[in-house]
Amino acid sequence: MRALVIVPAWNEERDLPAVLAELRRVAPEWDVCVVDDGSSDRTAAVAREGGARVLRLPMNLGIGGAVQTGYLWARERGYEIAAQIDGDGQHDPQYLEAALGPIRAGTADLVIGSRYIGAGGFRSTALRRTGARYLSWFLRLRCGARVTDPTSGFRVAGPRAIELFAASYPSDYPEPEAIALAARGGLRVEEFPVVMRERRHGSSSIGPVRTVYYLIKVSLALLLLPAERRHKPEIAG
């Protein structure tokens, strides 16, 4: 099966080389594609030096738009598997193989790396853990998806999920909403245990104060899920 790793990156020139080197070492049979989300630093050059295919967006679209670019690429090039991992080194690519199991076996369409099943690793602040528990409860209530770590950006998508996400992907704070879209589209969502690392540089894009804003925004987005699959302008390719 042809497999692609999508690495959305916005000004990640410091952490990206290590992430790409680790991917080459641990998951050599995966193609790697870095989506440079309008960075102002050397992200694209660093990614190219690291042997990745670089999709350079002409402007900053935010994480949702960047990740979707990766899925569009996966669809365009006929990949059957597309994983997404963060460009800041939080996600350990050694878990990619394990995540593939359910997709290869045909029992899942979308597999999410959860830091809350299994033991150890970086689990973020108490407030955000509570937020994650609330969101997972809300997701189950809203669309029946059973996910313990709805904000995790570590995911592996099978052919049906690639198709869905290439056609429609939420824009800001997209992770929980993407799960809801998948569950609503009849995709089977599963989880696999991962240990996440603390990011080496910089801080999370969502500070403690904004966590509450995040939760309200995401709750609203989940409540107002599009009535049908969103109609995005499709450009034949």
Partner 1 sequence: MTHPLLPLELQIAACAMLIVFFGWVLYLVRFQRLSLRDSLLWLLSTGAVLVFALFPGLLQSLARALAVQVPSNALFALGIVYLTLNVLSLTIALANASTHTRRLAQECALLRVEIAEVRSEVRSRDGAAS
User: What are the residues binding partner 1 (CB under 8 A)?
Assistant: 35, 53-59, 61, 65, 68-69, 72-73, 76, 171, 232-233, 235, 237
Structure tokens that stand for 183 in this block? 């569950």
- The least CB distance from residue 165 to partner 1, in Å, is 12
Q: CB–CB of 112/191 below 8 Å?
A: yes
- The least CB distance from residue 73 to partner 1, in Å, is 6
Residue 99, SS3 per DSSP = helix
Phi, psi of 109 (to 5 degrees): -105, -25
Q: CB–CB of 17/45 below 8 Å?
A: no
Q: CA nearest 220: which of 106, 122, 107, 142?
A: 142
The nearer residue to partner 1, 104 or 229, going by C-beta atoms, is: 229
The nearer residue to partner 1, 76 or 198, going by C-beta atoms, is: 76
Only one residue has tokens 């403690």, namely 208
- The least CB distance from residue 175 to partner 1, in Å, is 18
- The least CB distance from residue 60 to partner 1, in Å, is 9
The nearer residue to partner 1, 67 or 135, going by C-beta atoms, is: 67
The nearer residue to partner 1, 133 or 217, going by C-beta atoms, is: 217
